[in-house]
Amino acid sequence: MATVSTGIVGGAGYTAGELLRILLNHPAADVSCIQSSSNNGQPVTSVHKDLIGETDLVFSDIDFDAVDVIFLCMGHGKSAEYLEKNDVPQRVKIIDLSHDFRLKREGNGFVYGLPELNREEIRTAKRIANPGCFATGIQLALLPLASAGLLTKEVHVHAITGSTGAGQSPSGTSHFSWRNSNVSVYKAFQHQHLGEICQSLAQLQGQFEQPLNFIPVRGNHTRGIFASVYTDFEGTVEEARELYQRYYEGHPFVHLSPVNPDLKQVVNTNKALLYLEKHDGKLLILSCTDNLLKGASGQAVQNMNLMFGLNETAGLNLKPVAF
């Protein structure tokens, strides 16, 4: 198996730390360099202390001659700035974890990197826009319905996320004393991930124009997204399960759960668990994902595997926390 040489830009944050953890144990990847402007010259383990004993890497500039792919793990708006200031060679592939290139615009050469939607396009892509964490879980709950043209009424989403979804930089709403034993709603009906979700649904179901009512919630846990999604559905729950099983057949990380799931079944994994119930005329879809893995770094490695012709699951057979 050929080795893929990787570089990470913006190496001090949570997504970069999870990328490192996966790539250091990946059977076909080598971490060549990891850049952090605020930690240049320092050992990577001075920031990512969970990796003590696993790497001797030091934060340094990216050597484009030494890498096959770079992961951009910077804040929103920073990836576009980085690519404007740095002449990345055409042969170096790019996987961007920010919001900068997820929406289709003229001149945007990035493929939207949701494998359960665009797997074949990802295989031949040079540049990937990794989906957002909320967007991943919500889309996985709705793609089978959109593919069958069954999103004919408004969709309701209530989703709670862990504190790591806010990034590593401390803020008033990520401080332990505020977050612990607390929940709050934010960006109701106007979250930034709505654009990419609706874009993907329209890709499968023509001009999807139904309202998508999304209420994001800050949870008092560290990681994981639990989304409750419901919409009108005329069929039976058995018909819905058959539709979902057929859509996700061959997609290794999405699984239908026979029982009502919980977050700990997916935390620390690249899995998504979906669970279906029918209530009167409504189909309820529960979606569980780890915001830092399937919602970010794990999915980025899944995309890397596809781009380089590797086994899609390479490096991603991770055990959930579970207890």
Active site residues: 133
Name the pairing type of β-strands 225-232 and 282-289.
Answer: antiparallel
Helices (DSSP H) in the chain: which residue ranges?
14-23, 78-85, 115-123, 133-147, 176-179, 194-204, 237-248, 297-307
What is the distance in angstroms between the CA of the first residue and the CA of the last residue of the chain? Answer: 35
Q: Which residue reads 């998508």 in tokens?
A: 212
The encoded tokens of residue 60 equal: 């340094």
Query: Which residue, 200, 278, 202, is CA-closest to 233?
Result: 278
Under the phi-then-psi rule, with left for phi > 0, alpha for psi from -120 to 50, and beta for the rest, what region is 313?
alpha
CA distance 173 to 57: 32
227, 158 contact by CB (below 8 A): yes
5, 89 contact by CB (below 8 A): no
115, 122 contact by CB (below 8 A): yes
Burial bucket for residue 107 (CB in 10 Å: 0-12, 13-18, 19+): exposed
